[in-house]
A and B are shown apart, each in its own frame.
Chain A
Amino acid sequence: MATSVPGVLGSFEEIDAATDAIHALRARGHGDLTVYSAAPNHELEEALAQPRSWVRMFTLIGGLTGCASGFGMTLWMSYDWPLLVGGKPIGAIPPYVVLAFELTILFGALFTVAGMIILSMMKSLKGRPYHPRFSDDRIGVFAPCGPQEADAIVRLMQDAGSVEVQHEAA
């Protein structure tokens, strides 16, 4: 993959080696790391000390929108063409709870997926190197840096236990 972000890419087979490298890089002030793994891993999350995802806000807003739409749609449509049957209320809340519930779930789920996609796209990976083995059995740690820092970071990755280190020039 052609790269345009200069930096060092380390490939790790062991989880503790990768977390050691991440800790050491963060101690050196490298905050903009990209870590690739085939599955989510709590040790990597802890090492990166990431903030909580905002996906939950999308879920909440979606759910509330769905609930409001469910009640809003049913009540509005009932009163828009009122049919009085058996003296029962035209806008009846109990049966509309079913529709409001379904739309809460529907909108909540769709907003959640939209949130996952939008938030993931907010950090661009364009120009950052990637290796197919990261979706298989390796962990990749990419630290963007200038040429003057590259040698030190290559050494840091090797000392941590990286099995392969690449220096990506701009």
Chain B
Amino acid sequence: MGAIAHDGMPREQTHAEVTRDVLATLGTPSRGYYLALFASIGMFLVGLVTFLILLRDGLGHAGYNPPIMWSVYITTFVFWVGIGHAGTLISAILFLFRSPWRTAVYRSTEAMTVFAVMTAALFPIIHIGRQWIFYWLLPYPNARFLWPNFKSPLIWDVFAISTYFTVSATFLVVGLVPDIAAVRDKVSGWRKKVYEICSIGWTGADHQWRHYTRGYLYLAALATPLVLSVHSVVSWDFAVSIVPGWHGTIFAPYFVAGAIYSGIGMVLTLIIPLRKVLKVEHMITDYHFDNLAKLTLFTGSILFYAYAMEYFVAWYSSNTFEQTTFWRRAFGPMWWGGWSMIICNAFVSQLLWFKKIRTNLTALFIISIFINVGMWFERYVIINSLSSDYLPYAWDQMNPTWADWGILMGSFGWFLMYFLLFARTFPIVAIQEIKEMIPMPRRKKGAH
């Protein structure tokens, strides 16, 4: 497994041991798990109550302040869409590259992707204010034959996010089917019946595997350009406009790298405690964290370059508005946001050049928190470009209120609640793919 010899390599297991250890994660949960679950439900309820107040009184409670009519909600929307990128990168792109280290972590990252996109999808709906007519965004036949404006990046975004959610969820479910069948064959009572329905008749017969393996490969091949396209489309929500600080051709690759960077940050935040709670430390080892950290370093370095280029292009363009925007990012009223983004993303990620840090889980966990905070601030700073547009008399700052923080907290609760429930209901480590990596015993030693 893998080309490098590493102290933290997972120990070789038999097929039966893999089934046993992964199924053990579905046993009686620990007190820590319940604490985390109730905390996430509590956070979700805070968000729900905030939303109900917004629904009753209107969006005036939120910090929408002209000229910044996109506020914390759109900041957080882009943040969650970004989080959703690491999952499909790890499950699809690394699958096509045949990276062996992805097998132990891809299920949790894929689940994270689906729940992150579910969370992200809430925000445009909250942001539109009249949630009950959200379907106006979709091209549906209506009495006046009015159709959406397909030249608008916001409509591209509706299609991109819906496609990404559908394909990611499909990929997750398809990958789960053989594992659900393995659980079905080990449990009893009502759980057996539920898993039996969910396994849709899977037996691992040769013809099933034949179609499954080809189909999975094609799904990965389709999901790969999708990963790169979704955040590109999100970036065009900004870049297609002429707002200074947004109108840049580097936005698509810059956003994709940032999305993957933030996604891996969230993967680390989730997996480091989860492997302990679910007792799968021998399956998700230093070997996996070392590789995840290298990917973080790579994407963090691209971000470093992108940040530098943004400032360089602003200076080189000789465009006063562009230069003013970037000057204000560093030294204006929001200087602390601009520097938080640069320090947390560009500089903190450079610590991962050191192997000792890459394999130190406490250090990695702390770095992952910095990444999450830094990437949220990146979006906050980008949205804040609206504060200093072409009309200086209209300049003003974003002023987040309790309604913004309430919904932000609720989104974390909503996301964590689903993730924790998933981790207890379905195998969080992919049984079938781990078994595929383990050579089966042979009668004739050294044969094949």
Minimum distance in angstroms from B195 CB to a CB of chain A: 11
Is A50 touching B440 in the complex (CB atoms < 8 A)?
Answer: no
Q: Say whether A38 faces chain B, with CB atoms less than 8 Å apart.
A: yes
Specify which of B150, B156, B229 lies most central, judged by the most chain A CB atoms within 10 Å of its CB. Answer: B150
Is B436 touching A36 in the complex (CB atoms < 8 A)?
Answer: no
CA gap between A27 and B345 in the complex, in Å: 62
> Please, which residues of chain A bring their CB within 8 A of the CB of B170?
109-110, 113
Q: When each residue 153-195 of chain B gets 1 if its CB lies under 8 Å from chain A and 0 otherwise, what string results?
A: 0011001101100110011001000100110111000000000
Is A105 touching B151 in the complex (CB atoms < 8 A)?
Answer: no
- Interface-side segment among B3-11, B12-20, B366-374: B12-20
Q: When each residue 112-147 of chain A gets 1 if its CB lies under 8 Å from chain B and 0 otherwise, what string results?
A: 110111011001010000101111110100000000
Is B447 touching A16 in the complex (CB atoms < 8 A)?
Answer: yes
Is A40 touching B156 in the complex (CB atoms < 8 A)?
Answer: no
Q: Given A77-B147, A135-B181, A36–B160 Cβ distance below 8 Å? A: no
Q: Say whether B310 faces chain A, with CB atoms less than 8 Å apart.
A: no
Q: Say whether B146 faces chain A, with CB atoms less than 8 Å apart.
A: yes
Is B181 touching A56 in the complex (CB atoms < 8 A)?
Answer: no
Interface size range on A against B:
35 or more
Specify which of B139, B146, B211 lies most central, judged by the most chain A CB atoms within 10 Å of its CB. Answer: B211
> Please, which residues of chain B bring their CB within 8 A of the CB of A80?
145, 147
Is B432 touching A38 in the complex (CB atoms < 8 A)?
Answer: yes
Is A50 touching B151 in the complex (CB atoms < 8 A)?
Answer: no
| Closest residue of B by beta carbon distance from A89 | B151
Q: Say whether A98 faces chain B, with CB atoms less than 8 Å apart.
A: yes
Among A41, A102, A113, A161, contact of B443 (Cβ-Cβ < 8 Å) = A161
Minimum distance in angstroms from A136 CB to a CB of chain B: 5
CA gap between A55 and B225 in the complex, in Å: 20
Is B222 touching A102 in the complex (CB atoms < 8 A)?
Answer: no
Q: When each residue 408-441 of chain B gets 1 if its CB lies under 8 Å from chain A and 0 otherwise, what string results?
A: 0000000000000000000000011101100111
Among B15, B148, B213, B439, contact of A40 (Cβ-Cβ < 8 Å) = B213
CA gap between A117 and B215 in the complex, in Å: 10
- Interface-side segment among B202-210, B264-272, B286-294, B386-394: B202-210
Is A78 touching B147 in the complex (CB atoms < 8 A)?
Answer: yes
Minimum distance in angstroms from B250 CB to a CB of chain A: 18
Q: Given A50-B210, A113-B174, A98–B233 Cβ distance below 8 Å? A: yes
Is A98 touching B443 in the complex (CB atoms < 8 A)?
Answer: no
Is B207 touching A98 in the complex (CB atoms < 8 A)?
Answer: no
Q: Say whether B305 faces chain A, with CB atoms less than 8 Å apart.
A: no
Minimum distance in angstroms from A69 CB to a CB of chain B: 11
Q: Given A38-B182, A132-B186, A99–B207 Cβ distance below 8 Å? A: no
Q: Say whether B442 faces chain A, with CB atoms less than 8 Å apart.
A: yes
Among A43, A78, A132, contact of B448 (Cβ-Cβ < 8 Å) = A43
Q: Given A16-B447, A48-B206, A53–B211 Cβ distance below 8 Å? A: yes
CA gap between A77 and B149 in the complex, in Å: 9
> Please, which residues of chain B bring their CB within 8 A of the CB of A81?
145-147
Is A15 touching B203 in the complex (CB atoms < 8 A)?
Answer: no
Is A39 touching B443 in the complex (CB atoms < 8 A)?
Answer: no
Specify which of B146, B163, B174, B186 lies most central, judged by the most chain A CB atoms within 10 Å of its CB. Answer: B163
Q: Say whether A151 faces chain B, with CB atoms less than 8 Å apart.
A: no
> 22 A-B Cβ contacts within 8 A?
A15-B441, A15-B442, A16-B442, A34-B205, A37-B209, A38-B431, A39-B15, A40-B212, A52-B214, A53-B210, A74-B150, A78-B147, A81-B147, A95-B150, A95-B151, A98-B159, A101-B225, A101-B229, A115-B211, A120-B211, A125-B205, A137-B19
Q: Which 6 A-B pairs rank lowest in CB-CB distance, beginning with the nearest? A: A132-B185, A77-B147, A137-B15, A116-B215, A15-B440, A39-B435
- Please give 17 more A-B residue pairs, beta carbons under 8 A apart, in addition to A36-B204, A110-B166: A14-B441, A14-B442, A16-B443, A36-B203, A38-B178, A40-B209, A45-B209, A56-B218, A73-B139, A81-B146, A99-B155, A101-B229, A109-B166, A115-B211, A116-B174, A120-B212, A136-B185
